[in-house]
Amino acid sequence: MENPDLFGGDMLGVDPNDKNAIPGHQLRWPGAIVPYEIDASLEKYEAKILEAIQHYAEKTCVTFKKRTYERDYIRLFSGKG
């Protein structure tokens, strides 16, 4: 049975209102804002990536913003892992 709301290894039975957090403040993104950068190798997938980022932001307390000058950020790139 296929569920369009699940992807890959997602699990059924998880309460969407149950939000876990990392207890150590030093391990959190300041203000729950995550700067990101999308590598040029993913240009043809950028619209889908942005759609996924928006979906994640709507379902969590995390906000994503395109990186400008931040030292700490996530970089999305083509590769394994």
How high is the pLDDT of residue 2?
Answer: 60
Tell whether the model's pLDDT for residue 22 goes beyond 70.
no
pTM of the model: 0.66
b/e for 62-79, b at 16 or more Cβ within 10 A?
A: eebeebeeeeeeeebeee
d(CA 39, CA 46): 9
In sequence order, the 6+-apart residues with CB closer than 8 A to the CB of 22 are 28
Confidence label for 7 from pLDDT (cuts 50, 70 and 90): low
Residue boundaries of the structural domains of the chain: 33-80
- The mean pLDDT value for 13-37 works out to 75
- 44-76, pLDDT tens digit by residue? 999 999 999 999 999 998 999 999 999 999 999
Tell whether the model's pLDDT for residue 25 goes beyond 80.
no
